[in-house]
Structure 1
Amino acid sequence: MPKRGHTLFTSESVSMGHPDKVSDQISDAVLDLLIGLDPAARVACETMCTTGLVVIGGEITVHTPKAVAALNDVEDACRDTLKKIGYTGDIGMRFDADGCGVVRTFHGQSADISRGVDDKTTKGKQKEPGAGDQGLMFGFACRETASLMPLPIDLSHRLVERHAMIRNANKIKGLRPDAKSQVTVEYDENGRPACIDTVVLSTQHTADWNGAKKQAKLKQEIIKHVINPVMPKKLYDPKRVTIHVNPTGQFEVGGPHGDVGLTGRKIIVDTYGGRGRHGGGAFSGKDPSKVDRSAAYMARYVAKNVVAARLAEQCEVQLSYAIGVAEPTSVNVETFGTSKIDEHELAEAIVDIFPLTPRGIIEHLKLRSPIYTLTAAHGHFGRKPGKVSVNGKQYETFTWEKTDLADALAKALR
């Protein structure tokens, strides 16, 4: 138990080889394939993966000949994704990029949805496209890490990211792609991280690691190569922290053979690890006309800029939309008592400074780009903005992690 007045908070993450994340990455690979050829593509793609089988379905509408032709390349995109994850050549996993069956079934987007989303021109004036659905979306930021993410989810992501690096480098022989991490942080009476209380890392492995003695050795290797390099030294005491590695005793059976994977089943992993609230909408496989995704990215962008501007230590932003309506139906700001100014004034400044219509969000964050597969593992938030080259073109990634409007926001509220 923590000290009196202290609290514990836990978040988890899952690796790129976790079956649900496999499904997310395939769905986003299909999205990237199509939006790279047709920026106006409408994609809502879902994936299920299990022993020896991947099923891909959804509503897809494309408008260019190259994108239409690319629908025949969906199977290749799926298999390429599985190879990058590491599902190759290991018969014991019973799931292989070259050997699994791939079934795909698509139909076009509903006309009742598209009429509310499409650009329309009336009497020479173009109508602002509306949201692709109703719903509520949340964004969150806090001053616990350099990325302005909560510490438990940030560390959980870094653990599975490090696990993938160690596995790909073969520094620990016999690791397989499926893994999960979990970090419990102890907070002091002021809500600041005091120490790392518990770390859990479960990793799939070959039969070579079965047995108590070998699992004890694997634990030592995981602590040395995966856990210790990730943990912040000021908060991590190896003598005090509780560490669990494969607490069931072994983890040979895993991946899509161990558990069916589905797109969109890791929405808390994808966001803030349970800190702040969640509107319920998943991200992967959805083009940016779906505000479930694009408005959640904008909400994070707004919240991060608020904290970066030092207007609050914590910030949660809620946006909501009605299908076919461009302007948000509500904008709410919650700073948990840490704001230096009135939250109503802060919300008014946000509405003035940030583009919050679907078109404004898409254009400002440059979301009609094949950038989404990168988001489908190791978290959608807390990542460094960068660039990716696709078909010879450069695209900006993780634009919603920029803090380029922090100064403008601060000046507006002086």
Structure 2
Amino acid sequence: MARKSYLFTSESVSEGHPDKVCDRISDEVVDTFYRESLAAGLDPWAIRAACETMATTQRVVIAGEYSNTPKTVTVAMIQDVARKAIKDIGYEQDGFHWANCNIEVLLHGQSADIAAGVDAKQPTNKEEGAGDQGIMFGYACSDTPELMPAPIYYSHKILQNLARARKDKVGDAAQLGPDSKSQVTVRYEDGKPVGVTQIVVSHQHIVEDLSSKQVRDIIEPYVRKTLPDGWIGKETIWHINPTGKFFIGGPDGDTGLTGRKIIVDTYGGAAPHGGGAFSGKDPTKVDRSAAYAARYLAKNVVAAGLADRCTIQLSYAIGVAKPLSIYVDTHGTGKVDEATLERVLGEAMDLSPRGIRTHLNLNKPIYARTSAYGHFGRAPDADGGFSWEKTDLADAIKKAAA
């Protein structure tokens, strides 16, 4: 039987965290390939991209593979895209500055062996195969209106609100830097989130001599506005810049790499993770697209009122189109049999790589916006971004499962 009263903690990191800087640049590269292909009238279905980024003091290295990309995408364009991303994040410090950091581009063509397994070519491959083997998970729960676990949802929101104030230079928030981390411990009673017992925020400041107390004076009002009324009480313990000074931040303080914050990207530890990162990958890579599909299906199950919590696992083999398995766990909250849901979900959506890309309309430059503050729990955008957050399949799933 699931526990009803407990504490659960999740963390988030801001767009200025070294690893998130790298995620952003990698996703900007993917978006650039799609944007330039669409502008050139090329087939976006053919795009293949896998981009990894490393960032350290005054240096960025971008490496990876691509194929079927437009010739308009040059090394100079990739460098410019990376600089604009770093500038938008807000790095203008001596050890990491958008205008003069060294950016090395080491992108090269995709392996022909991988392409042979993925591309749909008659007579060997009748359908696009998965870009790799692996397992992907999706999750949804009734903690929040967005059907996300409360700890990760509010950890993200705290940093989003602080970043917005920093960039808009709202009052003393202009003294904050781009690099920050948050952590929220949520208290659950009878299975529902009701308050927070611990709040952690470590935030870079660009005014060197700010004390932890001064940083807390800036941050605390934003935290209080972010969390639901009544969640912060006298017993709530605050940890704001607990080590004291946090002046040197970003890649100058700690080397960043793409794909090192996969729990931040997903459910904050409230659900399993298959192990594959998302950023820098085009949607033929099921690490990304199938994780989006699994979230989409889990969210629609909960939105349909068929469960209060739902975990979905999908598995794939490289070069094989259809998933090898579909697994559903409603954690004892389900209104219908889980085996029934497994059958219904497999029929409700084509879970091949091409089927997922078609259903969720993923062949677009929509990925840079996912690189910070989570890939899930965001409002769907008018241009197709976060399409996996829609609940437009809920009625069909409910009817089929009846």
When the two structures are superposed, what TM-score results if normalisation uses the length of structure 2? 0.94
Q: Is contact 2:4-2:191 (8 Å) kept? A: no
**Aligned counterpart, 2:41:** none
Per the TM alignment, residue 207 of structure 1 is displaced from its structure 2 partner at its CA by 4.0
2:365 and 2:209 map into 1 onto residues whose CA distance is 39
SS of residue in 1 equivalent to 2:245: coil
Measure, in 1, the Cα distance between the counterparts of 2:283 and 2:331.
30
CA contact (8 A) 1:48 1:55 kept: yes
- Aligned to 1:344, what secondary structure does the other structure show? helix
Aligned residue in 1 for 2:91:
87
1:218 equivalent among 212, 215, 220: 215
1:6-58 per-position Cα deviation (integer Å, ceiling 9, x unaligned):
31100000000000000000000011001222322211100000000000001
Contact 1:328 1:357 in 2 (8 A): yes
Residue correspondence of structure 1 range 8-407 to structure 2 within 5 A: 8-38=7-37, 39=44, 40-66=46-72, 69-88=73-92, 90-91=93-94, 94-122=95-123, 127-170=126-169, 171-172=171-172, 173-188=174-189, 190-210=190-210, 214-224=211-221, 226-237=222-233, 239-387=234-382, 395-407=383-395
Letter in 2 for 1:281: G
Q: Is the 8 A contact 2:208 2:247 kept in 1?
A: no
Any conservation in 1 of the 2:212–2:242 contact (CA below 8 Å)?
Answer: no
1:89-143: per-residue Cα shift (whole Å, max 9, x none)? x33xx100011000111221111111111122339xx811110000000000000
1:390 aligned residue: none
Checking the alignment, whether the CA contact within 8 Å between 1:267 and 1:282 is kept in structure 2 is yes
Number of positions where the alignment pairs a residue of Structure 1 with one of Structure 2: 391
Shift of 1:235: 2.5
Cross-structure match for 1:391: none
What is the rounded CA distance, in whole Å, between the counterparts of 1:405 and 1:247 in structure 2? 45
2:344 is paired with a residue whose SS is: helix
Contiguous gaps of at least 5 residues in structure 1:
388-394
For 1:408 and 1:236, locate their aligned partners in 2 and report how far apart those are by CA, in whole Å.
Answer: 40
Q: Equivalent residue of 1:9, what SS? A: strand
**Aligned counterparts of 1:44 and 1:140: Cα–Cα separation in 2:** 25
8 A Cα contact 2:140 2:299, kept in partner? yes
* Distance (Å, rounded) in 2 between the aligned partners of 1:64 and 1:242: 53
Letter in 2 for 1:112: D
| Cα distance in 1, alignment partners of residues 312 and 175 from structure 2 | 43
Please tell me the residue identity of whatever aligns with 2:392: D
CA contact (8 A) 1:34 1:70 kept: no
Summarize the Cα distance change of 1:22–1:377 in structure 2 as closer, same or farther, 3 Å threshold. Answer: same
Partners of 1:65 and 1:221 lie apart in 2 by: 47
| Counterpart code for 2:66 | I
Q: Using the alignment, how far apart are the partners of 1:147 and 1:133 within structure 2?
A: 30
Structure 2 unaligned spans of 5+: 38-43
1-side partners of 2:103 and 2:76: how far apart? 12
Paired-residue identity, %:
52
Letter in 1 for 2:201: L
**Other structure's SS at 1:37 match:** helix
Give SS of 1:403's match.
coil
- Structure 1 length-normalised TM: 0.92
Cα shift at 1:361: 0.2
Tell me how far 1:71 sits from its aligned partner: 4.6
Report the CA distance shift for 1:413/1:51 in structure 2 as closer, same or farther (over 3 A).
same
Query: 3-state DSSP class of the match of 2:97?
Result: coil
Segment drifting more, 149-158 vs 100-109? 100-109
Say which is worse superposed, 243-252 or 46-55, in terms of deviation: 243-252
* Paired AA for residue 340 in structure 1: K
**2: distance between equivalents of 1:360 and 1:196?**
41
Give 1:215 shift.
2.5
Q: Is the 8 A contact 1:135 1:322 kept in 2?
A: yes
- Which letter does structure 2 place at the counterpart of 1:42? R
Deviations 1:373-400 (A, max 9, x none): 000011100000013xxxxxxx311000
User: Deviation at 1:5?
Assistant: 7.0
- Distance in 2 between the 1:159 and 1:273 partners? 14
Residue 120 of structure 1 aligns to a residue whose secondary structure is: coil
- Answer whether contact 1:15 1:179 (CA < 8 A) is retained: yes
**CA contact 1:209–1:218 (8 Å) conserved in 2:** no
Q: What SS is found at the alignment partner of 1:127? A: coil
Change (3 A) 1:63 1:84: closer
Tell me which amino acid in the other structure corresponds to 2:121: K
Give 1:215's aligned amino acid: S
